[in-house]
């Protein structure tokens, strides 16, 4: 299965965070650790209307190992997450910790 398109990611952000997202940009990201690529793809940046704690979110999809399906990530711009790269890093750390 190919990347999930920005319309589907926008719908996921709206559903997961109960707000109205507007796509403002798509940013290619290549995250490496100790010389190896741990994630590479496009992060879609959305401005949010109606969210209580954040005015921006970052969304993307990644393949699920051993499956044809993709997992959607929708990370809010808050706390240590201040950019698309930080959103990807936070998601990678959360997955490594089993959350």
Residue spans per domain, the chain:
6-96
Q: Which value, to the nearest 10 degrees, does the dihedral of the CA atoms of residues 90, 92, 96, 99 take?
A: 60
Confidence of residue 13 (pLDDT cuts 50, 70, 90): very high
pLDDT for 2 equals 65
Residue 10's Cα: distance from chain center in Å?
11
**Better-predicted residue by pLDDT, 93 or 56:** 56
pLDDT for 1 equals 47
pLDDT at position 35 over 90: yes
Residue 74's Cα: distance from chain center in Å?
4
pTM of the model: 0.91
pLDDT for 7 equals 95
């Amino acid at each position: 299965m190919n990347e999930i398109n920005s319309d589907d990611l926008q719908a996921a952000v709206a559903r997961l965070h109960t707000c109205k997202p507007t796509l403002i940009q798509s940013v290619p990201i290549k995250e490496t650790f100790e010389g190896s690529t741990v994630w590479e793809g496009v992060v879609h940046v959305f401005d949010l209307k109606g969210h209580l704690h954040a005015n921006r979110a970052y969304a993307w999809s990644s393949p699920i190992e051993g499956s044809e399906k993709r997992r959607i990530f929708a990370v809010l711009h808050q706390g240590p997450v201040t950019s698309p790269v930080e959103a990807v890093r936070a998601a990678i750390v959360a997955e490594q910790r089993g959350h």
